[in-house]
């Protein structure tokens, strides 16, 4: 029996020796590699924080003390330590554990997280409520170095000193900076000194004596304290990291190596009794303990099933992904158009912009986790005559909604929004499904909304967008490979607001209007089953091709809309509004997601079936409509 199987977690952590804690870390790291090799998930980030998470839980009493995780893709060890060890093999599986923090899952998951930079704000609210109620518990926000540079994080940091009275701890998980051995040792000793109880006692005694000196005592104490802090930061070359937090009224401790469990525990113990908020700076290594992930942490940040022995992914792609088609074609376009600029928010690899970044480093801007800034920054480029392509996942584009509406659409600026991971993204679940973009983009004045059915159409839409001066354009496309079956375009050129009739059946009483990822499944189903229906590829959600609709729906009794998104406010609503406007007595059925609940995590096939968007469900809907 392994050590972890003998423990009642997290309470038994308090009784473990240091050697047992490190033994437990090894077991957990091994389990994470084994499970994620089978299920897929966020590997490198989780491997880097195993010891850190052990130190946090060994120093605190969760859930009485509140631990708030940022994003959540570094929370696997936290899940294992909080009573979910036996369930861990189900992570990211349908009806299994979520890959992110989920309040419904455990009392130890204090605040749900899937998007970055929320932890400090949430923790601050919890700490304020604690102080108002006169309660006594520690509040800890664990945040990464990329997330803490986000605007929301700094808004929260700016508010800490004036908001909370009790203990408030920020643990900065820094997995990007490297530090040489001598500097690391010096830093370790200085940090150890700062939270050592003998040092604190001696420091207070010196301050007490100095303060007795008339006139000069108090200024001298302040000067000595500032000198100590400045000297510390200069010696360890962390002036930029530490001084800025001190200026916000936050005590800075660190940096500490993430594998140093006793030093982290010591820092947390000090922070729990400190009179001022404390930031503990921890240096972690992405992929720690697993060589493939250490050597390529970007690749092993999030991945599918792989061989744990070799690190090689097991599932091979049949065709290129939409992401790859987008990235390669944008490079091709940019070679002929020097006005094209690509913008990403810390997701160059994920959005397909790595090659663009390499070929055109001056024309590719990674703004970090700052989607709001990315959008308004693009607006500034557009004002100066450039063609900005803002590549952000659909779910993260939501974070910049005000900027899209106020800074871009209101001024009718020609910014192109390329929204990857639109629709159902599978195992990442409700925080990452891109199912709302049709809806929130469609209702914005001046906005054009498009969705390609395959890779060739995506290329055509990118070219259309680059040549358009009509204002902002949104192009949304799914995660995964482009369809193998291709339909020959009557015209490879995209014309503004024009749909395409793919299947003509003059005598049919049923017309299907599909968009984006739902066009090819419908086309293949119609061809295979020889269904007597018309099929229109909308291509544009906004504006609708009202001319083609009027022509092809004339004489039809029923219309079925197909979309991989929330149908209320999407294609279904657009067609319903048009039918009402035309006062046409045509029955309307909508196949899409419903707005009554968030979609859980699970394989895309399962989620499509649940939503009635798999081929069997579509066939049943079409046949039922044909019989009516």
> For 89-115, how does the pLDDT look when each residue is reduced to its tens digit (9 = 90+)?
999 999 999 999 999 999 999 999 999
Average pLDDT along the chain, 628 residues, taken 10 residues at a time: 94 95 97 96 95 97 97 94 96 96 96 94 97 96 91 93 92 67 39 49 55 59 54 45 79 94 96 94 94 90 88 81 98 98 95 98 96 98 98 97 98 98 96 97 98 96 96 97 73 87 92 97 95 97 97 95 98 97 95 95 96 96 93
Partners of residue 514 on adjacent β-strands:
537, 562
**Residues 6 or more apart in contact with residue 218 via CB below 8 angstroms:** 211
Partners of residue 256 on adjacent β-strands:
282
d(CA 132, CA 152): 23
From the list 51, 257, 371, 500, the catalytic residue is: 371
Quote the tokens at residue 43: 């590997």
Active site residue 286: yes
From the list 286, 288, 421, 453, the catalytic residue is: 286
First to last CA, the chain: 63
Q: Is 436 helix (H, G, I), strand (E, B) or coil?
A: coil
Burial class (CB in 10 A: 0-12, 13-18, 19+), 336: exposed
d(CA 272, CA 64): 13
The CA distances from residue 561 to 437, 487, 546, 573, 613, in Å, are 17, 20, 15, 9, 11
d(CA 392, CA 389): 10
**pTM for the predicted model, two decimal places:** 0.88
Active site residue 103: no
> For 115-174, how does the pLDDT look when each residue is reduced to its tens digit (9 = 90+)?
999 999 999 999 999 999 999 999 999 999 889 988 899 999 999 999 998 899 999 999
> For 6-54, how does the pLDDT look when each residue is reduced to its tens digit (9 = 90+)?
999 999 999 999 999 999 999 999 999 999 999 999 999 999 999 999 9
From the list 29, 79, 84, 399, the catalytic residue is: 399
């Amino acid at each position: 029996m392994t050590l972890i199987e003998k423990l009642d977690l997290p309470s038994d952590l308090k009784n473990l020796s240091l050697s047992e804690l490190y033994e437990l870390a090894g077991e957990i790291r091994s389990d994470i590699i084994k499970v994620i090799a089978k299920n897929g998930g966020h590997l490198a980030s989780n491997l880097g924080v195993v010891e850190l998470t052990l130190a946090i839980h060994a120093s605190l009493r969760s859930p009485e003390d509140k631990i708030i995780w940022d994003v959540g893709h570094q929370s696997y060890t936290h899940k294992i330590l909080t009573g979910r060890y036996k369930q861990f093999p189900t992570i990211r599986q349908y009806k299994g554990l979520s890959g992110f923090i989920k309040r419904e899952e455990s009392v130890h998951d204090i605040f749900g997280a899937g998007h970055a930079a929320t932890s400090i704000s949430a923790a601050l609210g919890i700490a304020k409520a604690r102080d108002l109620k006169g309660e006594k518990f520690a509040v800890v926000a664990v945040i990464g170095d990329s997330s803490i540079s986000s605007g929301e994080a700094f808004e929260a940091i700016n508010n800490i000193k004036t908001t909370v009275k009790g203990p408030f701890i920020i643990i900065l998980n820094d997995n990007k900076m490297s530090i040489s051995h001598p500097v690391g040792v010096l830093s370790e000793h200085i940090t150890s000194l700062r939270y050592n109880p003998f040092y604190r006692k001696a420091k207070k005694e010196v301050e007490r004596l100095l303060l007795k000196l008339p006139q000069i005592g108090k200024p001298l104490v302040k000067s000595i304290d500032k000198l100590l802090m400045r000297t510390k930061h200069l010696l360890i070359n962390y002036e930029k990291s530490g001084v800025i937090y001190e200026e916000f009224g936050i005590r800075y401790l660190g940096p500490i190596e993430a594998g140093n469990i006793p030093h982290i525990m010591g820092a947390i113990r000090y922070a729990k009794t400190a009179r001022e908020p404390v930031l503990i700076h921890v240096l972690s290594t992405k992929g720690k303990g697993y060589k493939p992930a250490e050597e390529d942490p970007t690749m092993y940040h999030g991945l599918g099933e792989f061989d744990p022995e070799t690190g090689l992914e097991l599932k091979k792609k049949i065709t290129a992904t939409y992401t790859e088609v987008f990235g390669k074609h944008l490079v091709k376009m940019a070679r002929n158009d020097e006005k094209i600029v690509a913008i990403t928010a810390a997701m160059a690899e994920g959005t397909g912009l790595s090659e663009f970044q390499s070929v055109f480093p001056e024309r590719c801007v990674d703004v970090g986790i700052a989607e709001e800034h990315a959008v308004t920054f693009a607006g500034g480029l557009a004002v100066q005559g450039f063609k900005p392509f803002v590549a952000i996942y659909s779910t993260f584009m939501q974070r910049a909604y005000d900027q899209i509406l106020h800074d871009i659409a209101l001024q009718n600026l020609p910014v192109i929004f390329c929204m990857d991971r639109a629709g159902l993204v599978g195992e990442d679940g409700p925080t990452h499904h891109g199912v709302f973009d049709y809806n929130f983009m469609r209702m914005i004045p001046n906005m054009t909304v498009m969705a390609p059915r395959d890779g060739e159409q995506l290329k055509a839409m990118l070219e259309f967008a680059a040549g358009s001066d009509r204002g902002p354009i949104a192009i949304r496309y799914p995660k995964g490979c482009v369809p193998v079956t291709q339909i020959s375009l009557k015209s490879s050129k995209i014309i503004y607001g024009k749909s395409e009739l793919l299947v003509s059946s003059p005598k049919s009483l049923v017309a299907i209007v599909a968009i984006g990822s739902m066009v090819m499944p419908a086309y293949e189903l119609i061809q295979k089953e020889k269904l007597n229906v018309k099929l229109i590829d909308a291509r544009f959600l906004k504006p609708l091709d009202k001319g083609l609709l009027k022509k092809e729906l004339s004489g039809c009794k029923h219309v079925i809309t197909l979309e991989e998104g929330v149908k209320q406010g999407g294609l279904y609503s657009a067609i319903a509004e048009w039918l009402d406007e035309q006062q046409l007595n045509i029955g309307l059925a909508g196949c899409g997601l419903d707005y009554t609940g968030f979609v859980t995590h699970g394989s895309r096939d399962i989620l499509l079936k649940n939503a009635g968007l798999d081929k069997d469900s579509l066939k049943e809907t079409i046949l039922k409509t044909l019989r009516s």
